[in-house]
Amino acid sequence: MEISGNTLLVLAAILFFGLIVPNFFRKVELPLATSLILLGSLLGPYGLNYVQPDETMDLFGFLGAAFYMMLSGFEVEVPHFTRSIQRFWLLFLSSTLIPFAVGTGIAWLFNYSLTTSFFMGAVFVSSSILTVFSSVKALGIGEGPLGRTIKSLAVAQDFTGLLLIFLIFKYIEPHQRFSLPILLGLLLSSVVILRMFLPEVVRYFFHRFERRKEGHEAESRLVIALLLVVIVLYSALDVHPVIAAFLVGFTLTEVPHSDALHDKLHTIGHTLFIPIFLFVIGVGINLKVLTSLTSGDFLFPVLLGGAFLSKYISTHLGARFSGFSARESVFLGISSTAKLTVTLSAAYAALSIGLINNRLYTVVVLVSVVSILVSPALLALSLKKWKRHLL
């Protein structure tokens, strides 16, 4: 009997791979996300055909995408402008406008629609908050001026990418009541309002829990209930759940004991839902794209080269014009090339609504996989050479 004949067995196998197999891949410095995506592609219908996704698996994959985006939103810090605001804006604009134009242009040259081309431009703009934050922390530069600038830039780029993706989704599926400008205004204002008042509401109830000597479980239940309320609020605005999950995480970062809440949600997400999401992402990959070069199909290398070079060159040049040193500009350029959470979640959502086909979906996922392999390694190598130069 094939594994696909029993959904429960499939999910159990995925969780086994998610918990056990990545420990082996870590020994060869292969990230968790990459290992699960590769396993999904190997066992999926385009590989050994042992796993066929069904509605239950898709549901777990959807929940995993929501958890992934919510945890990414939790990592967001208020940007620290280590240079003047004007110079930071120069760096930000350079590192977003050029990649957006390049991504749009490449997709358009490969005969994709203008809407799909704009989506690829938004993907080129996005970064990876989780990857960037963990990389600068591991390298010990997270609290310095350069590290804070790298993190601030990643936050700004991911927010911009998400905003562009939201606009594209709403252009395809317009809101029945509100026009796009009004809907955008309602979305942005709701984020500001929730960011201002939600922590106060939580703080009030936490104070009551303390007087009643209720434990952290009551606090967790309250926050999760509020989380669901916020998601329902965004659903009324027809915000895609993947985007709403990121905004929920962002609005909850200022609540009391948010670190403890983050740890609990991180444990739940990475133990159950996120491994299944990453596996489902891999199941949809058709690796025949890699063999299509012989037939003159250069979509993958062109998009990969365009995504990496457009982000590195535009960020490097923007950093130089903003007053950063040559070595700092190299760091900023390399860090901006990472793509993970927003890219994978957006590709997953775009495929579900028919905005991109399986070929383009596969290429986008592979670009993300390569970026999270290459970017942290290059950052570590650059820092090692920098320290050797200082000695």
Place of tokens 């955008």: 184
Q: Identify the pLDDT of residue 324.
A: 86
Closest C-alpha among 34, 110, 38, 126 to residue 302: 110
d(CA 391, CA 386): 9
Closest C-alpha among 248, 266, 221, 214 to residue 76: 248
Least confident of 141-145, 264-268, 384-388: 384-388
Structural domain that includes position 56: 3-390
Closest C-alpha among 218, 221, 268 to residue 63: 268
CATH number of 337's domain? 1.20.1530.20
The 8-class DSSP code of residue 216 comes to H
In degrees, rounded to 5, the angle at the alpha carbon of residue 337 between the alpha carbons of residues 285 and 343 is 40
Q: Which amino acid is at 65?
A: A
Sign, CA torsion 11/14/16/19: negative
Tokens of 341: 């959470």
Closest C-alpha among 56, 107, 45 to residue 355: 107
d(CA 334, CA 376): 8
pLDDT surpassing 90 at residue 121? yes
d(CA 237, CA 214): 35
pLDDT surpassing 60 at residue 378? yes
Tokens of 153: 């830039």
Give 178-219 pLDDT, tens digit per residue.
Answer: 788 888 888 888 888 877 877 777 777 777 766 676 656 666
- Torsion angle of the four alpha carbons 15, 20, 26, 31, in this order, in degrees rounded to the nearest 10: 0
When pLDDT is cut at 50, 70 and 90, the band that residue 107 belongs to is: very high
Packing angle of the helix pair 145-172, 326-335 (nearest 10 deg): 40
Which CA distances in Å does 383 have to 119, 184, 335, 347? 33, 41, 12, 32
Q: Where are the beta strands (DSSP E) in 157-300?
A: none
pLDDT surpassing 70 at residue 381? yes
Tokens of 176: 């029945």
Give 34-70 pLDDT, tens digit per residue.
Answer: 777 887 888 788 887 777 777 777 777 887 888 888 8
Q: Identify the pLDDT of residue 216.
A: 62
Q: Identify the pLDDT of residue 379.
A: 83
Task: Identify which has the larger pLDDT, 94 or 291.
Answer: 94
Cβ atoms of 304 and 65 closer than 8 Å: no
Least confident of 49-53, 55-59, 102-106, 259-263: 259-263
d(CA 69, CA 80): 22
pLDDT surpassing 70 at residue 24? no
Give 154-175 pLDDT, tens digit per residue.
Answer: 888 998 998 899 889 988 888 7
Q: Identify the pLDDT of residue 390.
A: 46
When pLDDT is cut at 50, 70 and 90, the band that residue 2 belongs to is: very low
pLDDT surpassing 90 at residue 133? no
Averaged pLDDT score across all residues of the chain: 80
How confident is the model over 234-243, as a mean pLDDT? 78
For the chain, how many structural domains are there in total?
A: 1
Q: Identify the pLDDT of residue 7.
A: 65
This prediction's pTM? 0.83
Closest C-alpha among 48, 93, 79 to residue 152: 79
d(CA 391, CA 375): 24
pLDDT surpassing 70 at residue 80? no
Give 329-352 pLDDT, tens digit per residue.
Answer: 988 999 999 888 889 889 988 988
Percent above pLDDT 90 for the chain: 20
pLDDT surpassing 60 at residue 116? yes
d(CA 50, CA 70): 31
Place of tokens 């929920």: 248
Give 312-335 pLDDT, tens digit per residue.
Answer: 999 999 999 888 888 889 889 999
Q: Identify the pLDDT of residue 110.
A: 92
- How far the first Cα of the chain sits from its last, in Å, is 62
**Count H helices, E strands: the chain?**
18, 0
Q: Identify the pLDDT of residue 352.
A: 85
When pLDDT is cut at 50, 70 and 90, the band that residue 220 belongs to is: low
Cβ atoms of 57 and 64 closer than 8 Å: no
